[in-house]
Amino acid sequence: MAQGIRQEFRDELHQLEAQAMGGLDLVVTQLDRALEAMKYQDVELAGMVIMDDDRIDGRYLEVNQGVLGLLARQAPVATDLRVVAALLHIIRCVERMGDQCVNMAKLVPLSGFEAPKDKVILDHIEKMGICARQQVGFAREAFQSRHVELAQDLVRQDAEINRLNRAIFQRAVAVGDDPEVREWAMFMVLVARCLERVGDNTVDIAEQTVFVVTGLFREFTHNEG
Amino acid sequence: MNPPFPDPGLGLPGPATMPEPGPGVAAAPRVEVAGLRAFYGDVEALAGVDLEVPANAVTALIGASGSGKTTLLRCINRLHEEVPRARLEGRVTVDGIDVYGPAIELPAVRRVVGMVFQRPTPFPSMSVYDNVAVGLRLAGARGPAVRETVVAALEVVGLWDELGHRLGVPAVSLSGGQQQRLCIARALAPDPAVILMDEPCSALDPIATLRIERLIGELTANHTIVLVTHNMQQAARVADTIVFMMDGRVIEHSPALELFTRPRDVRTERYVTGNFG
């Protein structure tokens, strides 16, 4: 049997993987803009984030339909089958992370143009944003290079996002008596929740990486971090 | 007795040591192959095969052409020895009985180990009925038992409803799918414990193929099936375990789902993904 007898299939699979990974790049862009809009109360930029979610949704449809077509026409097996199944899962994560960026962007006008701010909460949100962005990048790199250790390390990284999320909640509870500050803090709790969910989605992608490499699906626990 | 076949009353004088399906006997034996080497002249087609075929299950043999699948199949029911200059070494047992044992006679082996070939091979000069009955008659069966067995076999393969009112028509007048099911009925008539199938659907259309595949699944209630197929989707659909062969050797023998999702051997992975160098 000649090498690359299913070259057309292989090309299609690589193309689909590239599209899914490109979806993660779109998420990073949306995340950056949503965080910037939040930081500078930039309602216009927030509006762009909301509009541009269509691109991520479109990417989801492309990969989803590509995967279905590949399953129907090529009947992939073994590692190929695991990659195809993982891509279906990953593109779903991409779409959800895009939605979280939209959720954050929608909170920008609600949180007020000159909102009273709490520096501790703002610092934590900024750190969470940096962590979430890094995790999306690492999730992409781990999957693309089939790097099991890098994938497993995402659990450890995600623990930091979770810690910051809890810290923001506690700070919001104790932020003071000013109703405006408390309202603003409640919005920040929602933003933190969005970032925490982005982190969880990167861990899901990491789990898919390990599944593709080992053939065994195992949900990561934070004890592993 | 393997229901639903009534006892054909073969009354063969076959060796008592060959396992006869009957009361008190396990419904289907397991086939065991140990150290099997098969040759065509100087060419070694099987290079030391060890294999255990589980009872009442479908075991599919997959692998590239020339990997030894069909030779292995033909060694199990002693068809290999009928090829000029062919020989073999090693051991093939059915329920622990060596089919190449000195006391074992060929008809007894063929009665316990039936075979279905790649293309439908009905006897062209015979009717539908006679195609199924011929093996029974050659084995000495007579009377109502023959008809009962023929009807039961045709019912199992789904031909009774289609052809029950015209069993006298020539077998060659049937469609390809019907002919293949007729051949399966012919193989079933002596109530074999093991049925070997060598690409039984390769000449059939998708509908006929699905009927045969469904039939294969149903047959495992009373028979052990060994299936050679080049169609990996078919192997995935019908087989319980899959044997991947290469260069006359068994490379991997795994549950079907495992082999197609997480093969253990890199050679299996390369073959099933079409990435074989």
Identify the pLDDT of residue B73.
Answer: 97
What is the pTM (predicted TM-score) of this model? Answer: 0.80
Task: Write the residue in A5, A6, A78 that is nearest to B260 by C-beta.
Answer: A78
pLDDT (0 to 100) of residue B3? 37
Residues B216, B224: Cα–Cα separation, whole Å: 10
Domains located in chain A, CATH noted = 7-214 (1.20.58.220)
Mean pLDDT calculated for residue range A113-142? 92
Q: List, in order of start, the domains of chain B with CATH numbers.
A: 31-119+195-272 (3.40.50.300)
Task: Say what the pLDDT of residue B14 is.
Answer: 38
Per the model's pLDDT, the better-predicted residue between B45 and A113 turns out to be B45
**Banded pLDDT at A117 (limits 50, 70, 90):** confident
Residue A1 at interface with chain B, using a CB cutoff of 8 Å: yes
Q: Given this model, what pLDDT does residue B30 score? A: 85
% chain A with pLDDT above 70: 95
In this complex, the residue of A3, A75, A78 whose CB is nearest that of residue B233 is: A75
Mean pLDDT of A102-124: 87
CA-nearest residue to A3 within chain B is B277
Q: Which pLDDT tens digit goes with each residue over A170-193?
A: 999 998 888 888 999 999 999 999
Q: How confident is the model at residue A110 (pLDDT cuts 50, 70, 90)?
A: confident
Question: CB distance from A75 to chain B under 8 Å?
Answer: yes
Asked if the C-beta of A73 comes within 8 angstroms of chain B's C-beta atoms, the answer is no
d(CA B264, CA B258): 8
Q: Helices B176-188 and B144-156: crossing angle, nearest 10°?
A: 130
The residues with which B59 forms a beta bridge, in sequence order, are B226, B241
Q: Is B244 on the interface with A (CB under 8 A)?
A: no
Identity of the amino acid at B55:
A
CA dihedral B82, B60, B235, B4 (to 10 degrees): 90
- Residue B195: its pLDDT value, please? 96
pLDDT at res. B70: 96
Low-confidence ranges of chain B (pLDDT < 70): 1-29, 277
Strand order from edge to edge, sheet including B97-98:
B43-53, B31-40, B86-94, B97-98
pLDDT value at residue B1: 35
Q: CA–CA separation, B30 vs A49, rounded Å?
A: 65
C-alpha–C-alpha distance, residues B142 and B136, integer Å: 8
Residue of chain B with shortest Cα separation from A81 = B261
DSSP string, chain B: --TTPPP--------TTSPPP-TTS-SSPPEEEEEEEEEETTEEEEEEEEEEE-TTSEEEEE-STTSSHHHHHHHHTT-GGGSTTEEEEEEEEETTEETT-TT--HHHHHHHEEEE-SS----TTSBHHHHHHHHHHHTT--THHHHHHHHHHHHHTT-HHHHTT-TTSBGGGS-HHHHHHHHHHHHHTT--SEEEEESTTTTS-HHHHHHHHHHHHHHTTT-EEEEE-S-HHHHHHH-SEEEEEETTEEEEEEEHHHHHHS-SSHHHHHHHTT---
CB B47 within 8 A of CB B37: yes
Type of residue numbered B67: S
CB contact under 8 A, A3 and B268: no
Closest CB from B64, B232, B277 relative to A77? B232
pLDDT tens digit string along B128-155?
A: 999 999 989 988 888 899 999 999 999 9
| Higher-scoring residue by pLDDT: A220, A78 | A78
Query: Tell me, what DSSP letter sits at residue A11?
Result: H
